[in-house]
Amino acid sequence: MLLFVAAALCAPLLANPKAIGAQELARRLEPPSGAHLLGLDDLGRDVLTRLLFGARASLLAAVLVVAVSAGLGALVGALAGFSGRLADELLMRLADILLAFPGVLLAVAIVAALGPGLRHAILALCVIGWVGYARLVRGEVLRIRELEFVQAARATGAPTARILVRHVLPQTLGPLIVHASIGMAGVILAEASLSFLGLGIQPPSPSWGSMLRDSVKYLAFAPHLALAPGAAVAAVVVGFNFLGDGLRDLLDPRAAR
């Protein structure tokens, strides 16, 4: 994961930014070589350069979607779990309505209505992404609010908002961080799926999903076009899931014992 983040942030240093759109049509579909480590695509563009700059788009989408979704979901979940039955019912029924729709199909519908593009793809993923965080935080808040230190804070006359911010929400950070780590993998996969369908990043800007889409018709005689972005998506998704598992073991006191 550090390698992925470093490659995304240092893409202008690791690759030639001018080569993103540079075309060598006479050498199109050229396999990997010393001059082009991952070969050239159907328009003669360097695959490695496009792969590195596609990582920037994936990282940007993942960070923005997870930050917004986790923040909004934590707020909604905390209010639902701590504010009483009426607020809990209203907020959780809204979450249930969103959960009734398949996530990717709902994101496709939102982007199709707003128009293709990375901004609209990020917005669509945020609309459906906060629900999981809200349900997680709500469950944790329902458990934590009955513990002794929260009851002691109530007995001293501390305001409800102070109890929630100072005593309850910090106790939810462990599960929230684990869920956010695994959520990064889901966002990267969803963004690649939207770009593969032509609803995400638009040409000529590179993205892993659009690179996979463009490689489909050349699989028989130029498989390197699909192998590079496909392997990148698989490695990053698996890596974030392993990272989430490791963080769960690290932050779980029972696992430490």
Would residue 27 count as lying in a domain? no
pLDDT digits (tens, 9 = 90+) for 128-160: 999 999 999 999 988 888 888 888 988 888 888
Residue position matching structure tokens 């609010």: 145
pLDDT range class, residue 255, cuts 50, 70, 90:
low
Query: For residue 101, what are the domain limits?
Result: 57-256
Is 153 within the bounds of a domain? yes
Assign 46 to helix, strand or coil: strand
Rounded Cα distance, 201 and 153, in Å: 49
Which burial class, exposed, middle or buried, applies to 139 when counting CB atoms under 10 A from its CB (0-12, 13-18, 19+)? middle
Give residue-wise pLDDT tens across range 180-197: 999 999 999 999 999 999
Q: What is the DSSP letter of 203?
A: T
Does 20 reside within a domain?
no
Residue 43, in any domain of the structure: no
The Cα 127–Cα 101 span in angstroms is 12
Note the pLDDT of residue 113: 92
**Sole residue written with tokens 């075309």:** 23
Whether omega before 32 lies within 30 degrees of 0, making that bond cis, reads no
Q: Is 195 within the bounds of a domain? A: yes
Q: What is the 3-state secondary structure (H, E, C) of 185-240?
A: HHHHHHHHHHHHCCCCCCCCCCCHHHHHHHHHHHCCCCCHHHHHHHHHHHHHHHHH
pLDDT tens per residue, range 99-112: 888 888 899 999 99
Evaluate whether residue 115 is within a structural domain: yes
Higher pLDDT, 255 or 79: 79
Determine, yes or no, domain membership for 141.
Answer: yes
Report the CATH number at residue 215. Answer: 1.10.3720.10
Domain tally for the chain?
1
Give domain status of residue 35, yes or no: no
pLDDT, tens digit (0-9, with 9 covering 90-100), for 40-75: 888 888 899 999 999 999 999 999 999 999 999 999
